[in-house]
Homo-oligomer: A and B are copies of this chain.
Amino acid sequence: MSALPTTLVTLEDIHAAQARIRPTCLRTPVLDVPHPVGGGAPLWLKVESLQRTGSFKLRGAVNAVAVLGHEAKTSGVVTYSAGNHGLALASAARTAGASATVVMPETASAVKIRATRALGAAVLLRPPDEFVAYAKHLATVEGLALVPPFDDPWVIAGQGTVGSELLDQVDDVDVVVVPVGGGGLIAGVAVALKSSRPAVRVIGVEPALAGDLAEGYATGERAVWSRALTGRTIADGLRAAAVGELPWAHITALVDDVVTVSEESIVSAMGWLAANARIVVEPSGAVATAAVLEHRHRLGSGTTVAVVTGGNIDLQSFASLVGSWPTLG
């Protein structure tokens, strides 16, 4: 990968990504669901948990590997990941005939580790405050091509295809709510949305326990939290210590608001999604829906799309989290 551009990803980059990922990634469905807090405004889900590998991350990984082209095959690829990007990169690399090495924090979800290994990748586990540096070290000393999980224009462009697709799928979108970990998804989605429909409100959501972006967005200066802090949230995919610098540039330019949700709201949203949309969602995948539950007035009115980002969770954890959710109706 070349040096990061100082400019933002463009709609053309996203359209080029869409063409590259078409053979490999699903155009995921949108589902309309009864609004959980009433009020009559349509609520749609963009269901990336039904994407191959169980998350939107496949889009960015496939785009980045496609751009690497022959280099990926000759050198192999490496990344650091809380899980879903690693799983996605393992899949993208296997499709491209490249070897993949994924460094995950020791706290990564067991189901993500297993699934990544099952795709033929080498998975290395390191402490949460060391795994990022270790992957970068490996890239240098082993000559592997680094495919970062979010701080990368090709990854951002790939994730942006979520935004261009949902504009095709849902009429008259007013508000789009997007989970934020490292910020790659919201960066790409914001470009896709604001380029085509500037009046759309794009809203980022973090767990309050990993609310580094909410803090930075309020002060105007990118905040970096410790992994000890962000590691407290159940949303294992959103424990990045900070958004990346390139995502940050996109977010400050394009995102309308950043809100945080409680751990209770996240679990409640998982149950709500299981009962009302009949999907299995991991905690990180439920935070946009949690924001709809917790912050309906702040998000703004009109047709709302919550992006459901991933569904990789072991069934025992899922069952124990949602099994006590009260059935409404």
Contacts and interface: CB of A to CB of B under 8 A. Distances in A.
A319 B329 contact: no
Nearest to A281: B278
Q: Which of A50, A111, A277, A315 has the most CB of B within 10 A?
A: A315
A4 to B, nearest CB: 33
Choose among A32, A115, A329 the residue with the greatest number of B CB atoms under 10 Å from its CB.
A329
A31 B51 CA distance: 9
Given A271-B315, A274-B315, A322-B319, A329 B111 contact: yes
Interface in A54-87: 54
27 contacts: A28-B29, A32-B52, A49-B278, A50-B277, A50-B278, A110-B327, A111-B275, A111-B327, A117-B329, A118-B329, A274-B280, A274-B318, A278-B281, A278-B312, A279-B279, A314-B327, A315-B322, A315-B323, A315-B327, A316-B324, A318-B319, A318-B322, A318-B323, A319-B319, A319-B322, A319-B323, A323-B323
B54 A278 contact: yes
Interface string A80-120: 00000000000000000000000000000011001101100
A34 to B, nearest CB: 9
B329 A114 contact: yes
A247 interface: no
A134 interface: no
Interface of A: 26, 28-29, 31-32, 49-50, 52, 54, 110-111, 114-115, 117-118, 271, 274-275, 277-281, 311-312, 314-316, 318-320, 322-325, 327, 329
Given A111-B329, A115-B329, A319-B319, A278 B324 contact: no
Contact of A315 (B314, B316, B325): B325
Contact of A320 (B314, B319, B325): B319
Nearest to A54: B278
Copies of the polypeptide in the assembly: 2
A314 B278 CA distance: 10
A51 to B, nearest CB: 9
Contacts of A110: 327
A64 B182 CA distance: 50
B50 A315 contact: no
A287 to B, nearest CB: 17
Contact of A278 (B26, B32, B118, B280): B280
Given A111-B329, A275-B314, 11 more contacts: A111-B327, A117-B329, A118-B329, A275-B315, A278-B311, A279-B280, A315-B322, A315-B325, A318-B322, A319-B320, A319-B322
A144 to B, nearest CB: 24
Contacts of A319: 318-320, 322-323
Contacts of A280: 274-275, 278-280
Contacts of A329: 111, 114-115, 117-118
B325 A323 contact: no
A275 B317 CA distance: 12
